[in-house]
C-alpha cells in the first residue's frame, strides 16, 4: 500500500482556490464546544514494513483456525468457502466500488446483484430482496424503521434473544427518534416468551431472531399471528442463514420483513468484518424498503437488461421521501454470497445444513454423557447453550491454553448465566475436535 499525502504546497493551493486562509478557517462554522481540541493519542508513525510486522505480531496473539479448535459462533461463523468463490471474486470486474447508476456501463454488476436478490428471495421465502445493506445489525434497525413507516406506529417489541449487539444497534437507531422499545424475556425452553405480547396496544413491529442467540428455533408462526392480530408487522431476524437449508424459512411462517447477517455465505470472518446485511420483504411493502433494488427489463431493441429500479435514498429523491440514508449496499459482499449460493445449489445447501445440525447434535449427546447439563429443550441449529462446572472462566482459560476456544461465556450478556456457555459447531469442526473438547471437559 502506498501513502499519497498532500504536501504543504498542495494544501496552500487548494485553500487559495476556495478563498480560505487556513485549515482552521474551514471549521469556523462548527461551535467550539462541539470540537475536539486536544491532540489525538496516536502512536508514533512507522514505516510500511514496520506496520506489516506489527500486524503480523497482532495476528499471532489471536485464536485462529486451524491452529486453534474454535467452538465459537454467536453471529460470526467459520465455514468452508468453495474455490469457485475465491477464483471468481478475484476477477477485477467484480471488485469495483462503483455504484451502477449508468446501466449502459454496468450490466455485469447489475446482473450479479439481480442474481443475488433472486437467491436471497428464494432462501428466505420472500417476494422481493434489495441489493443488501451494511450488516445484520443495521439491517434489523432499518427493518424496524420500515415497519414504523408502514404501520405509522412507534412502539416496537424486541425479543431479548435477538443478538445483544443487534439490540444495541436497534436502540441506537430508534430511541433518539422517539420509539418505545419493549423487550420480551427468555422462556424456560430457550425460546422467546410471548405471553406478554397480548396486552400491548398500538404495536408497530415484533422482531424475533430465529435461530435465536442461543441457537434455538423460534415459533415464527406464533409470533406472526400475534403480531398481525395487533396490526403489527413481524420482522424475522437471523445471524446464520444456513439454517434455512434445513428449517422452514421466515416467508413460509408469515414474516413480513426478513433481515439478517449473510457472512456465512462465502465471506471470511476476517477478525470481525466486513459483513452483509440481507434484507427482504413481501411485495406490498416494497416501496417502503430501504436501500437499492435492481430490476430486470428490456431495452428499446427488446434485449434483456438490468437497471436500478428502486433507490429510495435522499441522494435520489426528495429528502423527506427518503426511506434511509444508506450510502453503500456492500456490493462485493453481496456478489460473494451469490457466488457461494450458486456454487452449492439447493441440494448441497440442504446437505451442508444437515451436516451442521448433525455435528451439533453429536456434541450435545457427548456432553450429556459426561454429566453436563443443557438447560434448554428447544430444537437448535448449529449452536446451543451448555452449563459448565463451577468457575467456568478458569476452565475457559485453561482450555484456551490447550488451543481450544470453548464457545462464548454468556454471563456478561445475560444476568444469572455466569456458568453457561454458547457452543457452536460447523462443518469445519471434526469428530476428533469434538471428542477432544469433551475429553478436556470430562478431565476437569
Are residues 418 and 277 part of one domain? no
Are residues 365 and 323 part of one domain? no
pLDDT digits (tens, 9 = 90+) for 190-221: 999 999 888 899 999 999 999 999 999 999 99
| Closest of 131, 164, 361, 159 to residue 246, by C-alpha | 361
**pLDDT value at residue 366:** 97
User: In 22-174, which ranges are E strands?
Assistant: 69-70, 128-129, 155-159
In a domain, 87, yes or no: yes
User: Reduced to 3 states, what is the DSSP secondary structure of residue 43?
Assistant: coil
Averaged pLDDT, 8-21: 92
Q: What is the CATH number of the domain that holds 232?
A: 3.40.640.10
Are residues 384 and 334 part of one domain? no
User: Reduced to 3 states, what is the DSSP secondary structure of residue 373?
Assistant: strand
In a domain, 45, yes or no: no
In a domain, 55, yes or no: no
Are residues 402 and 268 part of one domain? no
pLDDT digits (tens, 9 = 90+) for 385-417: 999 877 777 888 889 889 999 999 999 999 999
User: What are the residues whose beta carbons fall under 8 Å from the beta carbon of 332, sequence distance 6 or more?
Assistant: 89, 94, 95, 97
Are residues 317 and 232 part of one domain? yes
Are residues 124 and 225 part of one domain? yes
Give the H/E segment covering residue 397: helix 392-401
In a domain, 8, yes or no: no
Are residues 307 and 402 part of one domain? no
User: What are the residues whose beta carbons fall under 8 Å from the beta carbon of 394, sequence distance 6 or more?
Assistant: none
Give the H/E segment covering residue 225: helix 220-229
**pLDDT value at residue 96:** 66
Residue at which a domain ends, from 296, 314, 341 = 341
**pLDDT value at residue 97:** 59
Number of domains in the chain: 2
Which cell numbers in the block locate residue 437?
473438547
Are residues 350 and 253 part of one domain? no
> What is the C-alpha separation between 34 and 30, in angstroms, rounded?
7
- Tell me the CB-side half-sphere exposure of residue 131, using CA atoms within 13 A: 27
Q: Parallel, antiparallel, or unpaired for β 155-159 and 420-424?
A: unpaired
Q: What is the CATH number of the domain that holds 397?
A: 3.90.1150.10
* DSSP-H helix ranges across 132-190: 136-151, 164-174
Are residues 395 and 279 part of one domain? no
Averaged pLDDT, 269-283: 92
In a domain, 104, yes or no: yes
Residue at which a domain ends, from 341, 376, 396 = 341
The residue that leads in pLDDT, 293 or 59, is 293
Order the strands of the 420-424 sheet from edge to edge. Answer: 383-387, 420-424, 408-409
Reported pTM? 0.87
Bridge partners of residue 192, in order along the sequence? 186
Residue at which a domain ends, from 341, 366, 400 = 341
In this structure, how many other beta carbons lie within 10 angstroms of the beta carbon of residue 373?
12
In a domain, 7, yes or no: no
Query: Contact at 8 Å (CB) between 261 and 75?
Result: yes
Are residues 220 and 91 part of one domain? yes
Are residues 73 and 89 part of one domain? no
For 268, the domain range is: 83-341
Amino acid at each position: 500500500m502506498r501513502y499519497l499525502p498532500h504536501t504543504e504546497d498542495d494544501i496552500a493551493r487548494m485553500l487559495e482556490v476556495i478563498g480560505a486562509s487556513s485549515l482552521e478557517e474551514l471549521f469556523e462554522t462548527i461551535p467550539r464546544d462541539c470540537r475536539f481540541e486536544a491532540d489525538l493519542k496516536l502512536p508514533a508513525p512507522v514505516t510500511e514494513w514496520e506496520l506489516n510486522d506489527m500486524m503480523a505480531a497482532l495476528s499471532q496473539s489471536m485464536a485462529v483456525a486451524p491452529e486453534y479448535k474454535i467452538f465459537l459462533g454467536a453471529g460470526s461463523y467459520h465455514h468452508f468457502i468453495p474455490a469457485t468463490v475465491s477464483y471468481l471474486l478475484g476477477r477485477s470486474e467484480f471488485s469495483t466500488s462503483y455504484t451502477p447508476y449508468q446501466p449502459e456501463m454496468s450490466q455485469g454488476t447489475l446482473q450479479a446483484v439481480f442474481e443475488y436478490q433472486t437467491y436471497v428471495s428464494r432462501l428466505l421465502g420472500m417476494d422481493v430482496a434489495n441489493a443488501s445493506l451494511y450488516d445484520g445489525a443495521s439491517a434489523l434497525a432499518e427493518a424496524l424503521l420500515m415497519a414504523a413507516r408502514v404501520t405509522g406506529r412507534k412502539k416496537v417489541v424486541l425479543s431479548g434473544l435477538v443478538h445483544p449487539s443487534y439490540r444495541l444497534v436497534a436502540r441506537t437507531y430508534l430511541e433518539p427518534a422517539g420509539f418505545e422499545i419493549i423487550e420480551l424475556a427468555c422462556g424456560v425452553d430457550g425460546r422467546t416468551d410471548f405471553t406478554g405480547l397480548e396486552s400491548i396496544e398500538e404495536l408497530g413491529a415484533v422482531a424475533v431472531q430465529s435461530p435465536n442467540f442461543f441457537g434455538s428455533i423460534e415459533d415464527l408462526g406464533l409470533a406472526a399471528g400475534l403480531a398481525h392480530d395487533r396490526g403489527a408487522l413481524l420482522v424475522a431476524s437471523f445471524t446464520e442463514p444456513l439454517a434455512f437449508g434445513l428449517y422452514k424459512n421466515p416467508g413460509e411462517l408469515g414474516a413480513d420483513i426478513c433481515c439478517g447477517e449473510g457472512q456465512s455465505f462465502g465471506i471470511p470472518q476476517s477478525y470481525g468484518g466486513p459483513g452483509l446485511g440481507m434484507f427482504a420483504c413481501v411485495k406490498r411493502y416494497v416501496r417502503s424498503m430501504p436501500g437499492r433494488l435492481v430490476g430486470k427489463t428490456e431495452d428499446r431493441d427488446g434485449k434483456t437488461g438490468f437497471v436500478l429500479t428502486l433507490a429510495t435514498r435522499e441522494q435520489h429523491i426528495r429528502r423527506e421521501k427518503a426511506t434511509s440514508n444508506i450510502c453503500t449496499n456492500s456490493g462485493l459482499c453481496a456478489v460473494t454470497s451469490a457466488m457461494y449460493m450458486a456454487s452449492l445449489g439447493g441440494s448441497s445447501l440442504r446437505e451442508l445444513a444437515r451436516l451442521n445440525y448433525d455435528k451439533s447434535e453429536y456434541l450435545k449427546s457427548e456432553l450429556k454423557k459426561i454429566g453436563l447439563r443443557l438447560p434448554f429443550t428447544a430444537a437448535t441449529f448449529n449452536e446451543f447453550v451448555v452449563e459448565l462446572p463451577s468457575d467456568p472462566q478458569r476452565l475457559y482459560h485453561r482450555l484456551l491454553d490447550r488451543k481450544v476456544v470453548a464457545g462464548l461465556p454468556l454471563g456478561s450478556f445475560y444476568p444469572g448465566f455466569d456458568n453457561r456457555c454458547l457452543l457452536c459447531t460447523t462443518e469445519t469442526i471434526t469428530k476428533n475436535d469434538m471428542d477432544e473438547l469433551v475429553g478436556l471437559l470430562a478431565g476437569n
